[in-house]
Amino acid sequence: MTPLHLPHYTQVSCVGDGLAPFRQALRTGIGGLAPCHFDGTALPTWIGEVAGLDDAPLPAPFADYDCRNNRLALRGLQADGFDAAVRDSIARHGLRRVGVILGTSTSGILETEIAFRHRDASGALPASFNYHGAHSTYSLAAFVRAWFGLEGPAAVVSTACSSSAKVFAAAARMIHAGLIDAAVVGGVDSLCLTTLHGFASLELTAPEPCRPYDAARQGISVGEAAAFALLERPPATPDAGAVLLLGCGESSDAYHMSSPHPEGLGARMAMEAALADARLTPAAIDYINLHGTATLNNDAAEGCAVGALFDGRVPCSSTKGLTGHTLGAAGALEAVVCALALTDGLLPGSANTRQLDPALHLDYLLASRDAPVKRAMNNSFGFGGSNCSLVFGRGA
């Protein structure tokens, strides 16, 4: 594909608001996971919770969209001047030429869970239950589109843990088709009982902070995050610090609803498609941010595919030990990791990982180190066998 430019990007996760605390976490390996007490839940696991969401309702004009997920979205829009950058893009391109393509898996399901505790004798939900603005999976994009007063195309992509990687591919297609000139892309997923108890039911939640790719890994730490990027056509000569989206690859496992193909066949197809889309060979990649959930099956399958395709020659890591697995936000959050790896010349280490699984043939980064990074790949794989790989690069 023709490269696209990410002039602005930001994140909010359990490590803090904006790029500064995220950079520090990536360098130091000190993240934000803590034992789970979310909403009175006593699951023996650790989570990545964003502080301060309970006491921060959306401003009155947007009260129809108030829910934990959209509060987290607003925190993301307000970080690092992202809101102003989007408004500047709208001023240049027009209200109908800036799309909103966002990923979420949870949307405002937490508020639905709470409403079910308050059903009346007939089983009816309280009148305050908000289907359109909170429960609906589309509510995230509806809120962001309303926040900016946009009148252009919008959608929520909801493909579990690949959602907010696939938004980059969807928005790129729309820009290249001439439908829009820019897009607000990203992902927002928030803590809720469905995902905490759901992953626990699959015995995939770790009783400790998650240890991606570790020989003794025990599962995931569920996290929450908002991560956004602005996607536009690049200037004629992007400067050396510019972050570019070079290629997108998508595939389906066609194997199982909640287990990856054992050799990571679908994952490999997505990585190969992303490289082909970027017209690059595996040797051109300097860093891979792995999906690396820290479940036995995910890391084994992805590690197998990455080992086979890159022959153990490309430095790679999962950064979920810092943030937890932020599910529908993970693709965009880890796109931001790739952007920082490119701009800062940083190979991020894998927080909490002590010893690489010896079965895997990888150049795995236990600790962070400085090195030039010209091109970085981001892997995101979701339940339902939904795979997406993205390739980012630096200008010049």
Partner 1 sequence: MSHTLTAWIEGVGLIAPGLPDWATAAHVLAGRTPYAPAPSVLPAPALLPPAERRRASRIVRVALASGLAAIEHAGADARRLPAVLSASTADCHNCVALCETLASDDPRVSPTRFHNSLHNTPAGYWGIATGSMAPSQSLCAYDGSFSAGLLEALVEAASSHTPTLLIAYDAEHPAPLFAFRPIPDAAGIGLVLSPEPTPQSLAQISVELTDAPATLLADPALEALRLAIPALRGLPLLQLLASGTPGRAHLDYLAPLSLAVSLTFGPAPC
**Residue ranges that bind partner 1, judged by CB under 8 A:** 1, 41, 96, 105, 109, 112-113, 115-117, 119, 123-125, 129, 131-132, 135-138, 141-142, 145, 151-160, 166, 170, 173-174, 176-179, 193-194, 197-202, 250-258, 265-266, 269, 273, 382-386
Q: What is the CA radius of gyration of the chain?
A: 20
CB 198 to partner 1: min, Å: 3
Kindly state the smallest distance separating residue 389's Cβ from partner 1, in Å.
11
The answer to whether 154 touches 103, Cβ cutoff 8 Å, is no
Active-site hit among 14, 36, 291, 388: 291
We find the least distance from the C-beta atom of residue 370 to partner 1, in angstroms, to be: 36
Residue 266 CA, distance from chain mean position: 19
Q: What distance in Å separates the CA atoms of residue 38 and residue 46, rounded to the nearest whole number?
A: 10
Q: Can 5 be counted among the known catalytic residues?
A: no
Dist. CA 395–CA 141, nearest whole Å: 30
Strand, helix or coil for residue 104: coil
Residue (113 or 344) nearer to partner 1, CB: 113
The contacts of residue 228 (CB under 8 Å, 6+ apart) are 9, 10, 11, 76, 77, 82, 184, 185, 186, 332
- Cα–Cα dist 271/163, whole Å: 16
**Two structure tokens written together for 6:** 């990410």
364 φ, ψ (degrees, to nearest 5):
-90, 135
- Out of 135, 210, 325, 388, which one is annotated catalytic? 325
Amino acid identity, residue 127?
A
Q: Let me know if 37 is a catalytic residue.
A: no
Pair 221, 325: CB distance under 8 Å: yes
Q: How far is the CB of 327 from partner 1 (least distance, A)?
A: 10
Query: Does residue 291 have an active-site annotation?
Result: yes
Nearer to partner 1 (CB atom), residue 1 or residue 67: 1
Distance CA 251, CA 32 (A): 32
> Least Å distance between CB 371 and partner 1?
32
Shorter beta-carbon distance to partner 1: residue 118 or 313: 118
194/297 with CB nearer partner 1: 194
List Cα–Cα distances, 130 to 155, 284, 312, 328, in angstroms. Answer: 19, 48, 49, 21
- By C-beta, is 139 or 353 nearer to partner 1? 139
Active site (catalytic) residues = 161, 291, 325
